[in-house]
Structure 1
Amino acid sequence: MAASDDDTPAQLGPTPFDLVGGETRVREIVDRFYDLMDLEPSFKELRAAHGSTLDDARDKLFWFLCGWLGGPQHYIERFGHPRLRARHMPFAIGILERNQWLICMHQAMVDIGLDTPLVDRLDQSFFTTADWMRNQ
């Protein structure tokens, strides 16, 4: 990776954050994800793990995804390292919960109109992370 004049690594090509469409589109994905979770009975176990309100979860996932996709590090600025697995240990995450999360996220990306190749690429990355989060 080449360095720029200010000694920070130069980005080679657009990040997934850029390909998604920046913060506005990440927020759309997150909002659709939680709307689906709240509305669709097929996500009831996933929804049950989130408590009575989804507002805090919406913000945290938005902040996290911005950085995870290669954009601004909003989550880290607020909370430090995400420590995803440790932060999710209090919640039972098995294959059912993993799959509900992945299906819900896939549907959110499709619903907001992301290009199919990008959805496929993100689905693969999300699977790797979601599978690693399983604790059951």
Structure 2
Amino acid sequence: MSESEAASIYERIGGAEAIDRVVESFYRQMSLLPQAQTIRAMHGDGLIGMKSVLKKFLSEQTGGPVLYSSEKGHPPMRQRHMAFPIDNYAADVWMECMDLALAEHVADAETRVQLHDKVQKLADMMRNTG
């Protein structure tokens, strides 16, 4: 097993600082892209709490510290998002914002694809309308 295979995604991207940069960029993209305005509106005016939750979730999902489930328990993410209509377009635009953030802050292409795949599963799971 190579060193890059043994290291977690969290370690390979640069840990908490990299997660912070990705999440900040993600929400910036969501605010800037015209096609993302509907999903940006679903997040409300204050993003501090949302950013914190996403940072904790991504930390855990990438092999970093278990911050999300230790605070919130096992993530019934789909259930928490059922109040919001998330169709294919919304999930795809959400993913577009994330991909732009990953491209900006994750230099290694293989690691970026691995992280994209993890986050894509989340976006796919959130779809709840046709």
TM-score of the pair, normalised by structure 1: 0.85
Give 1:36-51 correspondences, 5 Å limit. 36-51=29-44
Q: Cα deviations across residues 60-102 of structure 1 (Å, max 9, x unaligned)?
A: 0001110011110111122111111111111111101110111
Higher relative contact order (CA 8 A, sep 6+): 2
* Unaligned ranges ≥5, structure 2: none
The TM-score with structure 2 as length reference comes to 0.89
Distance 1:101 1:61 in 2: 13
Matched, 1:62 2:55: yes
Moved more, 108-117 or 72-81: 108-117
Q: Give distance in 2, aligned partners of 1:30 and 1:91.
A: 20
Aligned partner of residue 114 in structure 1, secondary structure: coil
Residues of 1 paired with 2:106 and 2:125: CA distance?
27
2:75 alignment partner, SS class: coil
Superposed CA RMSD in Å reads 1.4
Match of 1:127 in 2: 120
Instruction: Write out the 4+ residue segments of structure 1 that deviate beyond 3 Å after TM superposition.
Output: none
Larger mean CA deviation between 75-84 and 65-74 belongs to 75-84
CA contact (8 A) 2:106 2:112 kept: no
The question of 1:20 aligning with 2:16 is answered no
2:84 pairs with 84, 91, 105, which one? 91
Cα shift at 1:113? 4.3
Give me the identity figure in percent. 32
- The 3-state SS of whatever aligns with 1:70 is coil
Give matches, 1:78-117, under 5 Å: 78-117=71-110
Cα distance between partner residues in 2 of 1:98 and 1:114: 24
- Which structure: greater helix fraction? 2
Bigger Cα Rg: 1
